[in-house]
Amino acid sequence: MNAQYRYILFYKPYDVLCQFTDGSTTPRATLKDYIPIPGVYSVGRLDRDSEGLLLLTNDGPLKHRLTDPKFAKPRTYWVQVERTPDEAALEALRHGVRIRGYQTRPARVRRLPEPQDLPPRDPPIRYRKNVPTDWLEMTLTEGRNRQVRRMTAAVGFPTLRLIRVRSLRLTLEGLQPGQWRELTPLEIQQVREDSKEQSSSSRSTL
């Protein structure tokens, strides 16, 4: 293992761009505001309005294996949606839905009790008094642009809040929004092992 490689686990807050620079004329928060380590890049992306687990590294070959669609690495999200999905909507998400001419891969989807220890979002979700919300846990093996949001919208239940809580065997345990840490030697070993698994073995977990 190259001793110069860095592996960073970051809890990305809401309203932070998943990049270190921003060409906008209106200043926006970026990874540079939180992570003072040059030369690392995010493995995959989270939308500006999404939160949660982000892995950063300067290990180019590893980054390629983890982001190449053919390797189908599982990622788990907690998703707060508007209204309460029925079983037909959940089954549609599990089997895959058509969004923008593309059929999504099968996903693991289950109803989730409202998380009790979840850090509040800043700013908070704007609730509608007469419209309930529900939480889902979704595990996908692909990461197309705004995919989770488009999937839930396709079955009639728009996403209000989206948090990535797990990627491979990495979780957010011990981190609060805006915090980061180096991966442990064991975690680095696990990530490298998981990155070499083929897509068929990853999909078999769904």
Alpha carbon distance 15, 162 (integer Å)? 12
Does residue 103 sit in the same domain as residue 189? Answer: no
pLDDT at 204 over 60: no
| DSSP secondary structure letter of residue 20 | S
More confident: 203 or 47 = 47
Q: How, if at all, do strands 98-99 and 102-103 pair? A: antiparallel
Does residue 63 sit in the same domain as residue 110? Answer: no
Domain assignment present for residue 33? The answer is yes
**Total number of domains in the chain:** 2
Which range is least confidently modeled, 74-83, 94-103, 118-127?
118-127
Residue 80's pLDDT is 97
pLDDT at 202 over 50: no
Domain assignment present for residue 1? The answer is no
Residue 203's pLDDT is 44
Mean pLDDT value across the chain? 90
Which structural domain range is residue 12 located in? 7-69+169-203
Does residue 33 sit in the same domain as residue 83? Answer: no
Mean pLDDT along residues 148-177: 96
Burial of 175 (0-12, 13-18, 19+ CB in 10 A): middle
From the list 127, 113, 189, 196, the residue with the least C-alpha distance to 161 is 127
Q: Among this protein's residues, is 134 annotated catalytic?
A: no
Domain assignment present for residue 82? The answer is yes
More confident: 186 or 65 = 186
Domain assignment present for residue 23? The answer is yes
Does residue 13 sit in the same domain as residue 49? Answer: yes
Q: Which of 15, 22, 33, 47 is catalytic?
A: 47
- Asked if residue 35 lies in contact with residue 56, where contact means CB atoms within 8 angstroms, the answer is yes
Number of other CB atoms surrounding residue 73 within 10 Å: 23
pLDDT at 119 over 50: yes
Ranked by mean pLDDT, the top range of 7-11, 27-31, 139-143 is: 7-11
Indicate the SS3 state at residue 192. Answer: helix
pLDDT at 199 over 70: no
- Asked if residue 105 lies in contact with residue 142, where contact means CB atoms within 8 angstroms, the answer is yes
More confident: 12 or 45 = 12
Domain assignment present for residue 41? The answer is yes
Indicate the SS3 state at residue 79. Answer: strand
Does residue 52 sit in the same domain as residue 97? Answer: no
Domain assignment present for residue 2? The answer is no
Alpha carbon distance 10, 16 (integer Å)? 12
Alpha carbon distance 101, 172 (integer Å)? 33
Does residue 57 sit in the same domain as residue 90? Answer: no
Domain assignment present for residue 31? The answer is yes
pLDDT tens digit sequence for 15-49: 999 999 988 888 899 999 999 999 999 998 899 99
CATH number for the domain harbouring residue 96: 3.30.70.1560
Does residue 129 sit in the same domain as residue 193? Answer: no
Mean pLDDT along residues 153-161: 97
CATH number for the domain harbouring residue 183: 3.30.70.580
Does residue 28 sit in the same domain as residue 52? Answer: yes
Tell me the one-letter amino acid at 196: K
Does residue 46 sit in the same domain as residue 105? Answer: no
Alpha carbon distance 164, 66 (integer Å)? 16
Domain assignment present for residue 46? The answer is yes
In what helix (H) or strand (E) does residue 41 lie, and over which residues does it extend?
Answer: strand 41-42
